[in-house]
Chains A and B, each alone.
Chain A
Amino acid sequence: MRSWLLLIPGGFFLFFFFLWPVAEVAVDSLTDGPPGGLGNYRSIATSIVDPHSFLITLEISALVTVICALLGYALSYMIVVAPPTLGRLLIGLTLISLFISQVARTFAWEVILDDTGIINNVLISLHLISSPLPLIRDALGVSIGMTNVLLPTMVLPIWVVMARIDPEVGRAAAGLGASPTRSFLRVFLPLSLPGVIAGCLLTFMLAIGFYVTPSILGGGEFVMVGELIVNQFNYLQWGTGSALSVVLLVLVGLVLVISAKLVGIESLFGLGSEVE
């Protein structure tokens, strides 16, 4: 009975700061705008811009998640096998990038990727290309920026799980005759997978809702769902904006549910596969 009471503060917080606002948004999506409940959803489904925006959002988020998984895995592995001081330095550097303003970093990418930016200037002055490469205001620029910003989100869950893997297990595999490659593929990789899954899920869910980086690096031309929603609210279209938000929320929920079915709910939170 007593332990039950401990849930109350957390429950209140969740209710007032999460459940109630989300419910209000859902109600707004049904009451604001064209009359008759689902009018906003109908206009989203039939609009030229919105379904296309959802599609490119999902595509880019998936792409960014995969790239972050590959890069993040390599980085986490490096942190884990490095000598302790170097390892701590690397983790520190990864964390510091989380503290830097996302807006500042995105503008820095703009300076690098612009037609008149650093990359193009160097390539043109070296005569490797004659006209600038389109690195910005398209999927490429947005993907690069998002990967940079989301990498720490991928690295941390993977590192946490990797750090818990007992090195004795690796030595045991070697002792039983496994080559380093075999030992990695058959022992280390499966043990680190829960961290990878947790990282991928977190990164994907953050990526689909991303606003700042895609809006700056996409110019006006590459519009992801986050920017779409902000534009609706800027023009006081509360109903349409709320409806888009609800669709996004349902999408995220769907991803979570499907992943839970596929890999089991404990793995999602990096709690699975403890080495006894």
Chain B
Amino acid sequence: MDQGTIDRVLQRELSRRGFLKASMLGVAGLGVAACGGTSLVSGSGSSKPSIVANLQTGALATDEINAWANPFTKATGIKVIADERELTSDIVQLMIQTGQITIDVLTSIPNGIDASDYPKFFEPIDWTLFNKSQFNSKFYGDTWVAVDLYSTAVTYNTKALEAAGTTPGMVPTSWADVFNPAFKGKRSFEDYWATTCTAALLGDGVPPDQVIPMDIDRAIAKLNTIKDDIVLYESGSDAQNFYITGETALGACFNGRSQAAVKAGAPVGVAWSQQLVAYDQGGVIKGTSQLHEAMEFLSWVTGSAHGGALTYYISYPPANSQAVVDQATKDWDPSSHFDLPYVVLDQDYLNDGFNQFDPSFEAWKATL
């Protein structure tokens, strides 16, 4: 390109007409964006009632939309706009602080919010819409109700195990096996101190009822024995991918994600002994303009009639003891395996433990 061409090109582009055209387009574009933006803020400018629900990410969000959001809209006429990003506590705090409530209800309260701060962030539950007696007292609080149970269990991909050199037919049956060098291949763990360190302690022989209070140094020492083979997953989608591709041969994975991997045709198995059971907390953001509609949605997804609908898509059963669940996939339901040892990761313990244990976990990660 020579100087003359450049000059001519510049002349053409910067001509007055071109500038006017560009600025008109810019203003029009801004106007469209502004209209689109305001219509997403719940309630404003729309005639039908609608709520914005954060329904987790990826395949799980699609499942929640099919299982809950669509039937809810059909039954009540309230439109549910799915917000499918990974919600973090800073977004929630900023929404409350600035008063720009763009999400009305969540099916999974993010980690990082102190239990004492819950009343600041979430509306008190309207118990007239819920049947409290159907829940174990562990599964609700003043501002939240457990939406589903899920567990992190010992998972393995038989093809990946063999490809890495494990004796064919040998599969892990407990966390101790994950730390056993007889099993070859990369191990998956969650990029989260709670599940990874608890699994390490169980693998080191600590009985399930003694993992809390946590001996973090013992957990880290155990993790270091297989340090070179550890791969961390940050989200359920990552874990699911690891087992579909065989990137990791064995280790931790969420039960619903292993189920999805098997559905996708991967040679994946799960050992249910010593599973780490946790629950998602659902809540309504404080200050939402759609309080009643949001509560109705929360009541729907945790209720006995419709809460179990998710199990037809992925085996995350509701915490509601009376809920109707898919009998066909009962084997993937963590509660079907409560005859084997298991640990419940209580949310208060997880919240308190962050400041206590996460720094050590992060320090260990830096040495990987």
Contacts and interface: CB of A to CB of B under 8 A. Distances in A.
Interface of A: 47-49, 52-53, 79-80, 84, 87-88, 114-117, 131, 137, 163-164, 166-167, 219-221, 223, 233-236, 238
Interface in B188-239: 191, 231-234
B156 to A, nearest CB: 15
A235 B368 contact: no
Contact of B366 (A49, A117, A131): A49
Contact of A84 (B5, B160, B362, B363): B5
Contact of B112 (A48, A87, A236): A236
A84 to B, nearest CB: 6
A21 to B, nearest CB: 13
A94 B6 CA distance: 18
Contacts of B90: 233-234, 236, 238
A116 B246 contact: yes
A115 B232 CA distance: 14
Nearest to A131: B164
8 contacts: A49-B365, A87-B1, A114-B245, A137-B231, A166-B3, A221-B368, A234-B110, A236-B112
A87 B5 CA distance: 12
B363 A235 contact: no
Contact of B365 (A220, A234, A235): A220
Contacts of A234: 88-90, 110, 112
Nearest to A221: B368
A164 B112 contact: no
Main secondary structure of the interface of A (DSSP, over half): loop
B111 interface: yes
A163 B363 contact: no
A72 B245 CA distance: 34
B366 A115 contact: no
Interface string B30-61: 00000000000000000000000000000000
A211 B173 CA distance: 38
Nearest to B112: A235
A238 B354 CA distance: 15
A238 B113 CA distance: 13
A49 B364 CA distance: 9
A135 to B, nearest CB: 12
Interface of B: 1-3, 5-6, 88-90, 93, 110-113, 160, 164, 186, 191, 231-234, 245-247, 354, 358-359, 362-363, 365-366, 368
Contact of A221 (B246, B363, B365): B365
A114 B1 contact: no
A115 B242 CA distance: 10
Contacts of B359: 47
A220 B246 CA distance: 18
Contacts of A166: 3
A220 B3 contact: no
B247 A116 contact: yes
A219 B112 CA distance: 21
Nearest to A166: B3
Contact of A223 (B164, B246, B366): B366
Nearest to B228: A134
A219 B186 CA distance: 14
B141 to A, nearest CB: 19
A233 B366 CA distance: 19
B232 A220 contact: yes
Contacts of A88: 1
Nearest to B246: A116
A234 B88 CA distance: 5
A133 B356 CA distance: 36
A84 B8 CA distance: 13
A104 to B, nearest CB: 14
B113 A49 contact: no
B1 A163 contact: yes
A137 B229 CA distance: 12
Given A235-B111, A235-B354, A236-B89, A164 B368 contact: no
A219 B231 contact: yes
Nearest to A163: B1
Contacts of B245: 114, 116-117
B366 A163 contact: no
A49 B93 CA distance: 26
A235 B1 contact: no
A197 to B, nearest CB: 21
A236 B368 CA distance: 25
Contacts of B89: 234-236
A164 B3 contact: yes
A220 B366 contact: no
A141 to B, nearest CB: 12
B366 A48 contact: yes
A195 B113 CA distance: 48
Contacts of B5: 84
A114 B247 contact: yes
B228 to A, nearest CB: 10
A238 B90 CA distance: 9
A236 B363 contact: no
Contact of B191 (A49, A116, A220): A220
B362 A80 contact: no
